[in-house]
Structure 1
Amino acid sequence: MEQKKQHVLLVTYPAQGHINPVLHLARRLAAANGAAVTFSTSVSAHRRMFPSLAAPNDEVQDGPVAHIPFSDGFDEEGFVRGTHDARQYLSQLRTLGSSSVSSILQSLRDRSRPVDCVVYTFCLPWAADVARANGVPSAQYWIQPATVFAIYYHYFHGYSSLITTACSNSEEDPKSTIKFPCLPPLQARDLPSFLTVPPDDPSAVVLDMLKDTFDTLDRERALSSSKPKVLMNTFAELEEDALSAVEDLALIPIGPILSPPDAGRYLLKLDEKGYMEWLDSKPRGSVVYVSFGSMTVLKKEQREEILNGMRDSGRPYLWVLRRECRWEGLELQDDGENGMVVEWCSQVEVLSHPSVGCFVTHCGWNSTFESLVCGVPTVGVPQWTDQGTNAMLAEKIWGTGVRGEANGEGVLEREELKRCLDLVMGEGESSVRIKKNVELWRDKAREAMSAGGSSYQNLRKFVDGITKSGQTIF
């Protein structure tokens, strides 16, 4: 008799930067590890991923992955930054989300599709409590680098006053450093932004959510005979020291987790312009790809500086600029053969194109990791959250890019952008060194996920360790 497949429920926050890596993991689990997989995000995100649904909460079978949404109380349009109160949303997300995910677990059990493990992203720590209440083990999926995880862990385990003091002193000495166990020396600007914002800043609510995340892991540790498991979208060779920085938890590197470009599901509609055909017309390594992700809205001054910096550089560019990021007074149009502007694109497909020679990025972890896996050097223009840390890692630790220096208003000026592009794409020693490092880490990343590689083995061992009795032995 054929052994029943382990059934994993993946629960994720309804943002593109969370959905992408979790959906990649879902497909990896189903295709490479033989697990049955159900993917769950909010109703509003679900209906945008599958816009042709007759009802917004219909279950969808998309290839090997089943999709069943949960309700966060914002089923029509979802949470909108700047419009809805973040604290109220997160409270409602916890209350309604917990009830909804519990109902999904019960429904699947009633339909003879019981879930054997719940995997959740860090914005949804309550999912661990829901899993435990339903007798199902859980694991967290950390979708930022292990270095950032270690920084947060130390902050919530005795280092908060040190960080606060160091950030205050950084105004007088910006180059002063903070030292954590097993991590490189960090300047204040290298820390996740949520550790440095004042308490009255709207984004300070995220720090409370992160504290809840680590409190949940501590509680799971106290209730279990084994260390709580945290799946990490990184690989052992890339962040060896950071992965050893936390002894109380089992940090399991399983990355890079990527799917084929045509397997993506987007909350934003792909632009119908022929950007891939446009890339086909450009020489190898000549195009600058510019994108700041699905959430960042750049200042008007910053957009103007990027536009003029790209024009001054004389290099062809493909710029992702969402509709809400356009502005009056300077209507951004294509620069003929030298520049194309799109509202959204398949990023992995673009980064995989041989004509792309540099990525000007906000340094979100998805973008940073995708550029590394695709072998494209970066110019980092970090804005908030983990992006400053990621930019530091790319420039100082891996040597795969440079970080642009912003002015006193936080704007990367056109001359600085041009300087960075010359460093990365020019003919000098820095460009040669960066390209060599990019190729090195690209090959190591691909090796980690190949059959027999470190991440491949870790993920297989995790899935094999999920037993039918509702316990994990890995």
Structure 2
Amino acid sequence: MGKMVNRSHVLVVPLPGAGHINPMLQFSRRLVSKGLKVTFVITEFISKSRQLGSSIGSIQLDTISDGYDDGFNQTGSWEPYLSSLHDVGPKTLSDLIKRYQTSSSPIHAVIYEPFLAWALDVAKDFGLFAAAFFTHACAVDYIFYSVYHEVLKVPVSSTPVLIEGLPLLLELQDLPTFVVLPDSYPANVKMTMSQFANMDKADLILINTYYKLECEVVDRMSKVCPLLTIGPTIPSIYLDKSIEDDDDYGISLSEIDASLSINWLSTKPTASVVYVSFGSCATLSSKQMEEIAWGLKRSNFHFLWVVMDSEKGKIPEGFVEEVENKGLLVNWSPQVKVLANEAVGCFLTHCGWNSTIEALSLGVPMVTMPGWSDQQTNSKLVEDAWKVGVRAKVDEHGIVKREEIALCIKEVMEGDRGREMKMNSKKWKELAIEATSEGGTSDTNINELVAMLRSTK
């Protein structure tokens, strides 16, 4: 065996999806900036399909199998995919760790996505320090934790719901869909609850948020598990600027052309553009897509709308030609770069946690159209706790009509409430920068984590 490398070596294991890879990859950069060695684990398919090499900058890459090395689309849904990952992942992760343990740079710790609870079991089989990295808001994590421990009974049928530590009373429309309709999403409920099945074995819980954003629920959850806030995990250039050349996440699961969006935005006045994106997994009905399209036109603001190739057929006929002087449709955009652009004045979003915390950290007020999972709760916090956005109302058929979309956009862009939202957005941006800067809460917590990891050697 060669000479031992004199620094702790951390294995980071995300769920193989863009919304999970990106924040954990960005957090890995933070660890490297503190002097640790990080090996980031991706699947064989992602490595081959994106033609990734052995590293991204200072972060080493390695692979495990998910049983679908030729592509996830073979499954058609998450349930068989996760089942395969659960069957194949533990052995390939164990083999990977064994390989490093006989090298000059053995693994000292594993940071894993808790949806992959088996990664914790593998880490403990090797006697390694293990920390769970939660990619939801702390409020959502604590709601799910309360459901797992039957403090909150499901399905929830009477409201309002009061959960100790949460700053707001919650109605049915504010709760995660799995809590309100567990029988409609059995695979998702099983996956969500699995996060907590062996959590008591974890040495630490890490949450992608910052303390002042969710102080009450962080304090409450800290009483039942060892918890550190380490977010927001967005590229350093937009926060404390402590990591050189750090202006993007580094792995995209889509074909990318960043210049199209950025060049178009460069021709628009400050705060004049509505940025529209519903995430990488959203599938909207043709009727809803039609209402969004004509709602954007009716608002009379410039807009940049991300429409995946699979959704393009739902765009109303003649719409693109009719709005060519006002809007641009793209199949992908570099979201943090777009939100950081001074031309963007509003974000029409599904309110997934990554999108929400990016908007908060970059000072962009929101119009929210939550779909499912945690998005309803995030939307409630955006509107009523942090006061940086407005939730678009659905009609009796569950559709947000064009009139409502236009009204909400105008309220955020030029209304009285919009001015308050912009002031609050600026405040949360400043607090995000403060949290990640040297001596801030997230930076201090990461330093505490680093000290723990070094002591494991």
Normalising to structure 2: TM-score of the pair? Answer: 0.92
Assess if the C-alpha contact under 8 Å between 1:401 and 1:424 holds in 2. Answer: yes
Say whether 1:301 aligns with 2:287. yes
Alignment of 1:32-51 (within 5 A): 33-48=34-49, 50-51=50-51
- Paired letter, 1:61: S
Q: Partners of 1:425 and 1:341 in 2: how far apart?
A: 20
- Paired letter, 2:368: G
Q: Partners of 2:347 and 2:77 in 1: how far apart?
A: 34
Q: Which residue of 2 aligns with 1:99?
A: 91
- Paired letter, 2:291: E
Q: Which residue of 1 aligns with 2:277?
A: 291
Q: Which residue of 1 aligns with 2:126?
A: 134
Q: Which residue of 2 aligns with 1:209?
A: 191
1:429 Cα offset (Å): 2.1
Assess if the C-alpha contact under 8 Å between 2:228 and 2:445 holds in 1. Answer: yes
Match of 1:327 among 289, 304, 313: 313
Match of 1:317 among 303, 308, 326: 303
Assess if the C-alpha contact under 8 Å between 2:273 and 2:346 holds in 1. Answer: yes
Q: Partners of 1:325 and 1:77 in 2: how far apart?
A: 21
Match of 1:78 among 67, 72, 76: 72
1:469 Cα offset (Å): 4.0
Distance of aligned partners of 1:229 and 1:456 in 2 relative to their CA distance in 1, 3 Å threshold: same
1:20 Cα offset (Å): 1.0
Q: Partners of 1:325 and 1:244 in 2: how far apart?
A: 42
Q: Which residue of 1 aligns with 2:29?
A: 27
Q: Partners of 1:321 and 1:328 in 2: how far apart?
A: 10
Q: Which residue of 1 aligns with 2:453?
A: 466
1:409 Cα offset (Å): 2.1
Query: Cα deviation per residue 1:146-179 (whole Å; 9 max; x = unaligned)?
Result: 0001101111112242x42xx334xxxxxx3101
1:459 Cα offset (Å): 0.5
Query: Cα deviation per residue 1:94-129 (whole Å; 9 max; x = unaligned)?
Result: 121000111111111222221111011121111000
1:263 Cα offset (Å): 4.2
Distance of aligned partners of 1:138 and 1:99 in 2 relative to their CA distance in 1, 3 Å threshold: same
Q: Which residue of 2 aligns with 1:237?
A: 212
Match of 2:162 among 179, 183, 187: 179
Distance of aligned partners of 1:107 and 1:291 in 2 relative to their CA distance in 1, 3 Å threshold: same
Q: Partners of 1:458 and 1:73 in 2: how far apart?
A: 36
- Paired letter, 1:212: S
Residues matched between the structures, number: 441
Q: RMSD of the alignment, in Å?
A: 1.9
Q: Partners of 2:328 and 2:347 in 1: how far apart?
A: 15
Q: Partners of 1:445 and 1:254 in 2: how far apart?
A: 11
- Paired letter, 1:150: Y
Say whether 1:189 aligns with 2:173. yes
Q: Partners of 2:36 and 2:404 in 1: how far apart?
A: 48
> What percent identity do the matched residue pairs reach?
34
Say whether 1:412 aligns with 2:413. no
Q: Partners of 2:77 and 2:302 in 1: how far apart?
A: 41
Q: Partners of 2:128 and 2:102 in 1: how far apart?
A: 15
- Range 434-443 or range 239-248, more displaced: 239-248
Q: Which residue of 1 aligns with 2:234?
A: 258
Q: Which residue of 1 aligns with 2:410?
A: 422
Assess if the C-alpha contact under 8 Å between 1:362 and 1:382 holds in 2. Answer: yes
Q: Which residue of 2 aligns with 1:276?
A: 262
Say whether 1:432 aligns with 2:419. yes
- Paired letter, 2:80: Q
Q: Partners of 1:312 and 1:110 in 2: how far apart?
A: 64
Q: Partners of 1:77 and 1:418 in 2: how far apart?
A: 39
Q: Partners of 1:460 and 1:273 in 2: how far apart?
A: 36
Say whether 1:391 aligns with 2:365. no
- Range 208-217 or range 372-381, more displaced: 208-217
- Paired letter, 1:180: I
Assess if the C-alpha contact under 8 Å between 2:258 and 2:334 holds in 1. Answer: no
Distance of aligned partners of 1:85 and 1:255 in 2 relative to their CA distance in 1, 3 Å threshold: closer
Match of 1:68 among 54, 62, 78: 62
1:69 Cα offset (Å): 1.5
- Paired letter, 2:15: Y
Other structure's SS at 1:125 match: helix
- Range 206-215 or range 138-147, more displaced: 206-215
Other structure's SS at 1:360 match: strand
Say whether 1:456 aligns with 2:443. yes
Say whether 1:360 aligns with 2:335. no
Distance of aligned partners of 1:126 and 1:189 in 2 relative to their CA distance in 1, 3 Å threshold: same
1:193 Cα offset (Å): 1.3
Q: Which residue of 1 aligns with 2:140?
A: 148
Q: Which residue of 1 aligns with 2:7?
A: 5
Distance of aligned partners of 1:446 and 1:398 in 2 relative to their CA distance in 1, 3 Å threshold: same
- Paired letter, 1:75: D
1:468 Cα offset (Å): 5.4
Could you tell me which runs of 5 or more consecutive residues in structure 2 were left unpaired when the two chains were aligned.
236-245
Alignment of 1:52-67 (within 5 A): 60-67=54-61
Say whether 1:348 aligns with 2:336. yes
Q: Partners of 1:359 and 1:350 in 2: how far apart?
A: 10
